[in-house]
Amino acid sequence: MLTQNLTVIITRDLQKLKSELELYQDEANIWKVDKNIANTAGNLCLHLVGNLNAYIGATLGNTGYVRNRDAEFELKNTSRKELIQKIEDTISMINIVLPGIDEKILKSEYPLLVLKEKTSTEYFLVHLAVHLGYHLGQVNYHRRLLD
């Protein structure tokens, strides 16, 4: 049940991230920074797809994804089309991997130490969904302020 709900929520929020990028009237503004806004919408997008592909795709789904977290914040001017493709690929991965996670895996310890202390897999998956929502809000705010 939890994996079904998380699949729906994460897919919904990734679709909203895609919509936010599509709403920028000037594509260049996706990469705009301001004195009080350090992260661009483009970098937040790269960070979110990197995060989900690393912690769900590679760790739980054995997808072979290799994360370059530094690049998520260093890359600039990736096209909107490429960002949207990355989101769509992440949605596909989520809809393949999450439904295959059973109750035993959910209750077990998440295989990596990511937070300050070890957590269950179900706790960490909820954390990832909340993390997505947090940064999605930042992208929305970025677009409304800087576009």
Separation CA 63–CA 50 (nearest Å): 13
Record the pTM: 0.96
Q: Looking up tokens 């706790």, which residue turns up?
A: 123
Convert the pLDDT of each residue in 116-141 to its tens digit.
Answer: 999 999 999 999 999 999 999 999 99
Long-range contacts of 60-64 (CB under 8 A, 24+ apart): 60/97, 60/101, 60/105, 60/111, 60/121, 61/93, 61/96, 61/97, 61/100, 63/93, 63/97
Q: Please classify residue 42 by burial: count the beta carbons closer than 10 Å to its beta carbon, then call 0-12 exposed, 13-18 middle and 19+ buried.
A: buried
Query: What are the chain's domains?
Result: 2-146 (1.20.120.450)
In this predicted structure, the answer to whether residue 35 has a pLDDT above a threshold of 90 is: no
Phi-psi region of 144 (alpha: psi -120 to 50; beta: other; left: phi over 0): alpha
Separation CA 75–CA 137 (nearest Å): 21
Convert the pLDDT of each residue in 99-122 to its tens digit.
Answer: 999 999 999 999 999 999 999 999
Provide CB contacts within 8 A for 116, sequence distance 6+: none
